Amino acid sequence: MAVTVVRDIEAGPEASTSGFAEEKPSWFTPKRLLVMFCIINMLNYVDRGVIASNGVNGSRGSCSGGTCSSGSGIQGDFNLSNFEDGVLSSAFMVGLLVASPIFASLAKIFPPPPPCSHNPFRLIGVGLLVWTIATAGCGCSFDFWSITICRMLVGVGEASFISLAAPFIDDNAPAAQKTAWLAMFYMCIPTGIALGYVYGGLVGGHLHWRAAFWGESILMLPFVILGFVIKPLELKGFTHNKKTKEYGPMLSPELQDETSNNGIKQGVPAIVEGLAEKLPEKSSLSSFGKKVMIEIHHFGKDMKELLQERVYVVNVAGYIFYNFVIGAYSYWGPKAGQDIYHMASADLMFGGITIVCGIFGTLAGGFILDKIDSTISNAFKLLSGATFLGAIFCFGAFCFKSLYGFIPFFSVGELLVFATQAPVNYICLHSVKPSLRPLSMAMSTVSIHILGDVPSSPIVGFIQDKIHNWRTTALLLTSILIGAFVCWFCGIFLHSVDRFNEESEHGVPATERSNLRPLLDDGNDEARTSQ
């Protein structure tokens, strides 16, 4: 078979002489991988906090008593309405939604032997390069449409990382700390947004809003370089599997020369053979057409299998309601707080609350689930309980007229709401078989954004333009958390099976797979040899 397996432990002794035997992946260890991914994730969400901060987002110009002000920040420079401003916050989601399933499919279509240029880890490097260029472009934008296009490209760059980082972490986390490791990773979401508020407020206030985007680009550059120079890593569930055989003709010239008696290339799925025969053999588009049909067939097959997982679907439905609220909170929170409670430094206030509650809430959710036993049923119990109580506290916070009543209630509410981050993603990863995990994360991302925070910011901006009352708008928004509670509460009663321990597609039983050498080795070559 022309597509050679990377792992010598799985490929057998032949791998050592094939020329493609695995080399130890640099100085990486699982903990270093986790740290690197956490920093990258934090920078992604710093960008979201920056675009929402008052120092960068600014305010529209206004006229009163015959005196007009030109406004400040992006909204002032480009004279944006609240609706246009909301569209700007959601623009990067367009690129994210389009690119996430593409990167997830590439991770599965192109398995991880070293000769392959589409190794999942390399895809992250490509995505981060696009992100770096796009954020620099935001700082160079000259009108609404130019910055909107750059925001879309930011989403394209983030897509590869969002789809693939969590499966990498789940592969390498200690068995008793999987949820805790995911909690550390997802803790960077509120932390990054909070730091973005503070960073955007300080840089935008003292320098210029454009400088904030240029600074982000510079900070991400070292990780772009690491993504390309570090030796490629692989994901579990994609080594020497059936899909590798099916995609062999697309990956290897040798396989393209092997034909069956009827002239059809070996390795092409049977369902595609009939279509392939109808294509003209001498057509220049024939080969490309076959490849496209194969890719579409397998993507459709995987999507059908994913949507048949009721546990996964119910979990993502609750996540959509949750993200609708959190996305609008993160973007409009500083403006609402400044208007309702006349905060002197709304960016710093919301940033401080979010960073403290985000860190402790997210970590607590992961550690609690590990302590009570990491099962899908327990994860749903934790999700529904934390969301219900969090909704009550957040709703009550906006009912207070005093800032001193708002802060403690909203802090407790955010603490509870952020406790959902690790459990919800644990379910996404463990309710599907290993080879579907990148696609499950990609489609979860697509769903929560296209139905969640993409429409929420413009909708909240539109409502505020109509009623001109941030308190009422905030209360209406917070009540939507009840939808998340209902979905996750129903999930408790679903029959759930942890699919992570199922046989992978290459047929290695769970007991054997647990004894395989980790994806990232701490340098124990002797143990490797003894295996």
Q: Count up the domains in the chain and report the number.
A: 2
Is 413 a residue whose pLDDT tops 50? Answer: yes
340-349, 402-411, 416-425: the lowest-pLDDT one = 340-349
CA dihedral 270, 432, 154, 123 (to 10 degrees): -60
- For the record, the structure tokens of 438 come out as 């990148």
- The reported pLDDT for the residue numbered 124 is 81
**Do residue 470 and residue 384 come from a single domain?**
yes
pLDDT band at residue 20 under the 50/70/90 scheme: very low
Q: What would the mean pLDDT of 318-329 be, rounded to a whole number?
A: 90
Q: What would the mean pLDDT of 94-116 be, rounded to a whole number?
A: 63
**Do residue 376 and residue 473 come from a single domain?**
yes
pLDDT band at residue 432 under the 50/70/90 scheme: confident
In the listed set 199, 234, 269, which residue is the last one of a domain according to the structure? 234
In the listed set 234, 265, 285, which residue is the last one of a domain according to the structure? 234
Residues 390, 481 contacting (CB under 8 angstroms): yes
**Do residue 213 and residue 317 come from a single domain?**
no
Domain that holds residue 467: 296-500
* 291 found inside a domain: no
Is 318 a residue whose pLDDT tops 90? Answer: yes
Distance, in Å, from the CA atom of 367 to the CA atom of 373, rounded to the nearest integer, reads: 10
* 209 found inside a domain: yes
CA 299 to chain centre: 19
Residues in a beta bridge with 59: 72
**Do residue 374 and residue 473 come from a single domain?**
yes
**Do residue 325 and residue 460 come from a single domain?**
yes
Q: What percent of the chain has pLDDT over 90?
A: 15
* 191 found inside a domain: yes
pLDDT band at residue 62 under the 50/70/90 scheme: low
* 380 found inside a domain: yes
CATH code for position 160 = 1.20.1250.20
**Do residue 441 and residue 364 come from a single domain?**
yes
* 261 found inside a domain: no
- For the record, the structure tokens of 335 come out as 């403006």
Distance, in Å, from the CA atom of 136 to the CA atom of 129, rounded to the nearest integer, reads: 11
Terminal alpha carbon distance of the chain: 24
The residues, ordered by sequence, that sit 6+ positions from 290 with a Cβ below 8 Å of its Cβ are: 249, 268, 272, 275, 276, 279
**Do residue 228 and residue 301 come from a single domain?**
no
* 323 found inside a domain: yes
Can you tell me whether residue 522 is helix, strand or coil? Answer: coil
CA atoms within 13 A on the CB side of 201: 20
Can you tell me whether residue 177 is helix, strand or coil? Answer: helix
Higher-pLDDT residue of 442, 527: 442
Can you tell me whether residue 54 is helix, strand or coil? Answer: helix
pLDDT band at residue 250 under the 50/70/90 scheme: very low
In the listed set 205, 234, 263, which residue is the last one of a domain according to the structure? 234
**Do residue 112 and residue 39 come from a single domain?**
yes
- For the record, the structure tokens of 530 come out as 């003894």
* 367 found inside a domain: yes
**Do residue 187 and residue 335 come from a single domain?**
no
**Do residue 202 and residue 321 come from a single domain?**
no
Q: At what angle do helices 346-371 and 403-418 cross, to 10 degrees?
A: 40
Q: What would the mean pLDDT of 494-523 be, rounded to a whole number?
A: 54
Residues 208, 137 contacting (CB under 8 angstroms): no
Q: What would the mean pLDDT of 13-41 be, rounded to a whole number?
A: 62
- Write out 6-20 in H/E/C secondary structure: CCHHHHCCCHHHHCC
- The reported pLDDT for the residue numbered 180 is 80
* 515 found inside a domain: no
**Do residue 315 and residue 170 come from a single domain?**
no
Alpha helices in 279-309 (DSSP H): 286-307
Q: What is the DSSP string of 230-271?
A: SPP---TT-SS-HHHHHHHHHH-HHHHH-B-TTSPBTTS-HH
Tens digit of pLDDT for each residue in 274-307? Answer: 544 444 444 455 666 676 677 677 777 888 888 8
Distance, in Å, from the CA atom of 136 to the CA atom of 430, rounded to the nearest integer, reads: 37
**Do residue 87 and residue 198 come from a single domain?**
yes
